Amino acid sequence: MQQVSEELIIKGLSGSEGIAIGSTFVVDLSRRSVAPKIINSLQIRSNVKRFQKAKILFLDEIEELSKNLDKATREIFEAQKHIVSDVEIDEKVLHLIETEKFSVDYAIFETFGGFIERLRESGSEIFQQRIVDLENLRNRLIDLSCENEDQKKIPKNSILIVKEISPTDLVNFHELGIKALVMEKGGVTSHASIIAQSLEIPCVVSAKNVLHSSRTGTPAVVDGTSGSIVINPSDQTLSEYKQRIKARTKQKKARQQVHEESVTKDGVEFHLRANVEFIQELELVKKNRAEGVGLLRTEALLYGGFEKRSEEAQIEFYDKILKELKGPVTIRLFDVGGDKLNIHNQDEDNPFLGWRGIRMLLDEKQILENQLRSVLKVSGKYKERIQILVPMITDVREVVEVKQVLKEIKEELRENEIPFDDHIRVGVMVEVPSVALLASQFAKEVDFFSIGTNDLTQYTLAVDRGNERICELYQHNHPAVWQLIHQTIYAGNNNKVPVAVCGELAGDIIGASALIGMGVTDLSMSVHSIPRIKQHLRSHTLDKFRLLAQKILVSSSAEEVKAEFKALFPDYS
């Protein structure tokens, strides 16, 4: 382990806002691979009993931890209860113990490994984040089945540093008084992030090499707002962060401003919507007064097999979202590749550039038709509230083909006298440079554009943001990305096609400021970004945002973009 004596800043992603100063407590909660172990016939009964006891202990543990927690966290635990109680998992574990005569720990490890491996092979960032949840659930069951309880002691007000963490461990550590959480893995939509937000724990996720760079008892600062951790902070850094903590008390007005009108200082209206993946997020969406859902990710419906992506399951999911929330809901079609559906047993060298999104859907028409039919059926109940968003578009012909499939399904529903919104709007994700460059041509075929800045940045800069050796090159404020965004907005305006942004750039202060300045007033973001973005946009005039946009469009580097922002908004910290 690297011995740190000088100030070290490790960048990650914001999992939950807030600032904490304290001492680190490093815990390696990861588990080594469990080797196959054969048991004899006399040991089968005891191994089965240990598995059954582990399930009961886990469910009891979940029940106890769920007390006094908010609805979002309780529903995450409820989902874990369903996984542990799943009949398929039960049958697989018992088969491995009773027929194959494997030990209970390996039986659990192998059973969950099958699900995990399918997700690991996928190119979906969202599914990659679910791996952490399944691994931790698996590990907890193994611990309980082996009665390996390893009671962890941690000083109060510590900054917990882990590779990854399960929901149960996080709540347990919270009850022991941790001050902040830093994860080497995980993403902004991971369950750990959602729970940290609910518990109001500052959290940084995807902090590469933080375990290697840390040791227990080292002074540190966690900046959950910028997504960074400072190890061994200098006196000057500590002083600056102490001032920022004081300033955050004043910034609590941002929470109060979520109830205020969404207008700039000079009265220009804007709309802040939420990126949503799980039902568990809805309470926070309502709490932060999001104006609908600008990006409803639907990939989670695919996890668990065909019955989970059936029309009935989809309709139930969409109906729940629309019934619970007010405002428009933009439903993105499945943005996945074939591997995670086990449609074809083929490997892809680069899934991000492979058979994914609309490419897969147009090949697997039944999946596309089922989803479009489900969306249309729900639209009959919520007319003029639903939009369809098509992912990974690169060619105008793909749009035309999707619209043709949609037309055929409309005719089918009409013949069967099933009501639907005949004027449902269809838009495309602008996440590939070819779409931005030909936005004027695409505008003739779509009802709206939604710019996905995460993939647009990745494809424009040829940077895999998951590659830690080059992740510093992933800069969503790079001028090249801004030029493509501006070109898309220009084409949208000329063709009277509305433009929204649903990538991380919308939830970034610099990004939101420049987007408003370029004329985009429909921004969708991680729900916990809404209060601070709203406060910032309400505090300044459109003219100031326009000036920033003008300066960005003649900048030559991401650093120059940040400098221009700082010059215009010197008081922002």
Kindly list the catalytic residues: 191, 502
Amino acid at 549: A
Contacts of 404 (CB under 8 A, 6+ apart): none
CA 252, 257, 260 angle in degrees (round to 5)? 170
Strand order in the sheet with 159-162: 8-11, 228-231, 219-223, 19-26, 159-162, 180-183, 203-205, 13-16
Q: How far apart are CA 414 and CA 463, in angstroms?
A: 46
Percent helix, strand and coil across the chain, each to the nearest 5: 50, 15, 35
Contact 303, 286 (CB under 8 A): no
Beta strand extents in 360-486 (DSSP E only): 386-390, 425-430, 448-451
Q: How far apart are CA 163 and CA 190, in angstroms?
A: 13
Closest residue by Cα to residue 480 from 463, 460, 500: 460
Rounded to 10 degrees, the C-alpha dihedral 206/209/211/216 comes to: -110
Q: How far is CA 495 from the centre of its chain?
A: 32
Closest residue by Cα to residue 293 from 423, 382, 191, 194: 382
Token look-up 């904490």 returns 20
DSSP H or E run through 276: strand 271-276
Beta-carbon count within 10 A of 494 CB: 11
Q: Residue 138: exposed, middle, or buried by beta-carbon count in 10 A (0-12, 13-18, 19+)?
A: buried
Tokens encoding 319: 């109906």
Q: How far apart are CA 160 and CA 329, in angstroms?
A: 37
CA Rg, the chain, in Å?
Answer: 24
Token look-up 């490997």 returns 347
